[in-house]
Amino acid sequence: MKVMILAAGKGERMRPLTDFKPKPLLPVADKTIIEHTIDGLAASGFKDLVINHAYLGQQIEDYLGDGSRYGANIQYSPEGDRGLETAGGIINALPLLGEQPFMVVNGDIATDFPFDQLKNRPSKLAHLVMVANPIHHAQGDFGLLENEQVVLKVGELFTFSGIGVYDPRFFSNIEPGHCKLGHLLRQAINDGQVTGQLYRGFWMDIGTPERLTELNDRYSTQ
């Protein structure tokens, strides 16, 4: 299974740290944010990676190279300076991702989720990893039934972790260009085409300098 790492965001909330460096290359402990993700994926057997980029994206290519030093093979999907949003970036990279289901991982999260659990997903159009709601997103995103069906605003809500597996058909008939993933997910959930699972382990959205410092402290003491 191929994996796409979303790395095209500008990291506005991280300024001034991202004034001259893309967010995925910000250091945390002894590596960059994106290197922790690459290492986690490679350790779970995912070697074929696609990384999109926009803002200061050439720095990402120059730093990571072809991925060989991580035991991986990295291809890049550049989007220009503006980027194409989440779904638009995935659609732009579909020629690199192939015709089989693929995983997508947000480039600005930290987690110890065992990625190998997703090797045989999905049976429907998408399968999402959900987590407990962090303080900064207390309202959650979606509900999750006992049969793994993801639902909208029913029962207890959880936060979408930014980790999911998608059948390429999920993006069929969507015109290339700027497009957000959330709208497409809600439509597919409403149609009963999305399953999910709840992960209770470590997960963090690295959205602010304060959370980056918290993550650095966590990794430095492990």
Tokens of 214: 């918290």
Arithmetic mean of pLDDT over the chain: 93
How confident is the model at residue 198, as a pLDDT? Answer: 97
Show pLDDT as tens, one digit a residue, over the chain (222 residues). 999 999 998 777 888 878 899 999 999 998 999 999 999 999 999 999 999 999 899 999 999 999 999 999 999 999 987 888 999 999 999 999 999 999 999 999 999 999 999 998 877 999 999 999 999 999 999 999 989 999 998 779 999 999 999 999 999 888 878 889 999 999 999 999 999 999 999 999 998 999 999 999 898 877
DSSP class per residue in 58-125:
HHHHHHHTTSGGGT-EEEEEE-TTT--HHHHHHHHHHHHH-SS-EEEEETTEEE---GGGGTT--SSS
pLDDT at residue 50 in the model? 98
Contacts of residue 100, defined as CB under 8 A and 6 or more positions apart, other chains included, come to 1, 2, 168
- What is the pTM (predicted TM-score) of this model? 0.95
Token pair, residue 178, equals: 């700027």
Statement: 3-220 belongs to CATH 3.40.50.300: no
